Amino acid sequence: MTVACLKYPFDIKEVLRKRKSIRAELLERPGLAEVKIALLGGSTTSEIRSIAELFLLDAGLRPSFFESEYGKYFEDVVVDDSALRAFAPDIAFVHTTHLNVLHAPRMHDGDDRVEECLKAEMDRFQAIWSRLTGELGCLAIQNNFDLPPVRSLGGLDSTESFGLTHFVMRLNLEFARAARRNPKLVINDIHHLSARLGLDQWFDPDYWFSYKMAVSHAGTVHLAHALAKLVRAAYGKTRKCLVLDLDNTLWGGVIGDDGLNGIKIGKESARGESFNAFQQYCLELNERGVLLAVCSKNESVLAQRGFTHPDSVLKLQHFTAFQANWDPKPDNLEIVAKQINIGLDSLVFVDDNPAERALVSAQLPEVAVPDVGAQVSRFAQYLDREGYFEALRLNRDDAQRAAYYAGNNERAAQVARFADYAEFLASLEMKAEIGAFTPAYLERIAQLTNKTNQFNLTTRRYTLADMEAIAASPEYITLYGRLADRFGDNGLVSVVAGRLHEGKVHIELWLMSCRVLKRNFEFAMRDALVERAVQRGARELVGYYYRTPKNDLVAEHYAKLGFELVSRADDGSSSTWRLDLARPCVPDRTIKEITYA
Amino acid sequence: MPETILGKLQLIFRDVFDDSRLTIGRESNAETVEGWDSLAHINLVSAIEQEFAVRFALGELETLKNVGEMIDLIQSKLTVPA
């Protein structure tokens, strides 16, 4: 559960004053994952460091930092990167602002000169990014630019091509273009952040002159949070499902009392319009890949009828799970998580009723429960600011996720119609593609690896750079698996990697998306692994299981696959398994058609 | 005592240095308070500005010798209308 003052809208005074004791308290939490972050500043970074640490610890990440020499964000990367290289960052944050624009056009410069300035500035940053994401192999998080707080040209500063405002806006577009092209470059949008706070709140000239802080103290809290959101996303700590209450959350009034025609939704009133706008925001989240679910105290039939209202932007088909009954909400949230096959820590719960929010927070601390207040007009703002669904980039899988789960519901309906499960599996007409890691899939492979908690034998986390290294290493046998069936393409859903050492393949990574549980796909992956291990001259596969709070599901994974137990810790927290390749197992035939890439 | 400027400063110092027993007096300065480095200084300044709703001008703090002078400076800002 999040420390209160670190929740939007942040108690900035408390965060700044009590940071030492908050830090000490957060460091006590179990299971923190290490992350190495280089702060490369065009201004002071010590305050960002100290506050970002709090947000990261709160997210379960324990950062260690490297700070460039003051203002040496370029030199410490491009000129002499030995210190940075020794630190070997997972993530590098380039904290530059409008104050660091080196090649700003001069007053009355012509267009040709402005283009030269733009190119010179871009070359400088490209050099930084290419070193960070190339040779150093880390994820680069780069600020775009805040707008200049004072403008000698006044309003013309954004009109004239030599105006700094105009120039900075063009640079921001160029930065965005660069980030779309480089999967390891991510933009931290301080253009938005500073606008949201207001430039007068964001930039404090006294703090700049006194302490070389390019962002005010209050602004630093927001900036640190923005940075932490991106780091969180890089480590797969992004939530997946928005669970919504209905009455006075998605429409005004109580459908059970007021009836379909009595609820407030639509353009007739300000209140109705505010519910419309919130539904629209939820729909956009759904379109970008966030799952929607309902958790409401209602008669199910009545609750569903609400979505037949002509002004309801959301329709029943947008929801992956729908729990409307009179049971306690924590119970229903657990059912939602189970139905969708995701952890409670993937849920965000929005309810206008503070008592329900308090109950859920208390009973299910893993669920994110923003204190959205009672004004629906503000709900979207809370979700937006907290950044629960922040992603480093969108991929096709995200866009199709809701469709997969819709397909899952159809599949579930199918199961009931078959005599036995094998018959059902056969009816799915599954097709798989299994192959070694290829560059086109590395992003998805890293993403899946970092967010899969349940069907995950070792729960090791890897950056994109780690994955590249494994894919390129002759020591490794790597496999990805895609699975499609007659209801749709599930995309890339399984990842296996083993290190070949003295005739044994040590399986460091075996995971699968819960979307495709109980499809026998793990057998197809085993068969492919066995085949490739034999080709490489291995005699034995060695499997490892490390228990976490979430992966009990796979405690007997290797037993099911025909491995024999080598050893098991007394408390069951880990086990080792082997498969003798001289006695290969019978290949599984559940998947109709397998293509080996 | 929490109502006096020194009392409020004491609470700020305890928070910033995360030491619930820290006791400061007019004579306290960067040498006598452990951990009072440039970073802690920025935190103190920003906490004081927020607590008392005052702003320090550039250079105003650099000449102060101890907490006593800090109290006098805050006092002068609180009594003079902005």
Task: Using the 3D structure, point to which of A186, A213, A234 is the last residue of a domain.
Answer: A234
Q: Which two tokens stand for residue A205?
A: 């000239």
**Element counts in chain A: helices (H) and strands (E):** 21, 17
How far from B77 is each of A46, A309, A501, B52, B60, CA to CA, in Å? 29, 60, 72, 9, 12
- Rounded to a whole number of angstroms, the distance from the CA of A48 to the nearest CA of chain B is 12
Does any domain span residue A405? no
Local structure of A377: helix, strand or coil: helix
Say how many residues make up chain A.
597
- Do A145 and A221 fall into the same domain? yes
- Do A364 and A436 fall into the same domain? no
Local structure of A501: helix, strand or coil: strand
Residue A27 CB partners (closer than 8 Å, separation 6+): A57, A62
Q: DSSP assignment, residue A495?
A: E
- Do A331 and A226 fall into the same domain? no
Q: Measure the CA–CA gap between A219 and A197, rounded to whole angstroms.
A: 7
The total number of structural domains in chain A stands at 3
Domain boundaries, chain B: 5-79
Give tens-digit pLDDT for A493-514: 999 999 999 999 999 999 998 7
Give tens-digit pLDDT for B3-52: 799 999 999 999 999 999 999 999 999 899 998 988 888 889 999 999 99
pLDDT value at residue A399: 60
Sheet of A185-188: strand order equals: A61-67, A33-41, A91-95, A139-143, A185-188
- Do A450 and A536 fall into the same domain? yes
Regions of chain A short of the pLDDT cut 70: 1, 396-419, 584
Does any domain span residue A520? yes
Task: Using the 3D structure, point to which of A208, A234, A260 is the last residue of a domain.
Answer: A234
Residue closest to A41 by CA, chosen among A96, A105, A79: A96
- Do A103 and A207 fall into the same domain? yes
pLDDT value at residue A406: 65
Going A10 to A14 to A17 to A23, the CA torsion angle's sign is negative
Does any domain span residue A476? yes
Q: How many CB pairs below 8 Å do chains A and B form together?
A: 35
Q: Is A494 exposed, middle or buried (0-12, 13-18, 19+ CB in 10 A)?
A: buried
Q: How far is CA A590 from the centre of its chain?
A: 33
- Do A207 and A341 fall into the same domain? no
Does any domain span residue A442? yes
Task: Using the 3D structure, point to which of A201, A234, A267 is the last residue of a domain.
Answer: A234
Query: Hey, which bits of A385-438 come out as E strands?
Result: 431-435
- Do A92 and A33 fall into the same domain? yes
Architecture field, domain B5-79: Orthogonal Bundle (1.10)
Residue closest to A219 by CA, chosen among A243, A193, A241, A239: A193
Does any domain span residue A493? yes
* CB–CB contact A13 B55 (8 Å): no
What is the CATH number for A172? 3.40.50.1110
Task: Give the position of tokens 């979207």.
Answer: A380
Q: Which residue of A has its CA nearest to B47?
A: A17
Rg for chain A, CA atoms, rounded: 26
Question: What is the ipTM score, two decimals?
Answer: 0.86
**Domain extent at residue A327:** 241-386
- Do A321 and A352 fall into the same domain? yes
- Do A213 and A75 fall into the same domain? yes
Nearest to B43 among A16, A21, A24 (CB): A16
Does any domain span residue A397? no
- Do A289 and A358 fall into the same domain? yes
Local structure of A70: helix, strand or coil: coil
- Do A447 and A553 fall into the same domain? yes
* CB–CB contact B15 A21 (8 Å): yes
β A319-325/A291-297 pair status: parallel
Nearest to A17 among B47, B55, B57 (CB): B47
How far from A324 is each of A246, A306, A332, A367, B40, CA to CA, in Å? 9, 12, 8, 19, 52
Q: Which two tokens stand for residue B65?
A: 């010798």
Residue closest to A498 by CA, chosen among A515, A510, A490: A510
- In this complex, is the C-beta atom of A200 within 8 Å of any C-beta atom belonging to chain B? no
Q: How far is CA A322 from the centre of its chain?
A: 24
- Do A27 and A129 fall into the same domain? yes
Give tens-digit pLDDT for B56-72: 888 888 778 899 999 99
* CB–CB contact A13 B17 (8 Å): no
Local structure of A191: helix, strand or coil: helix
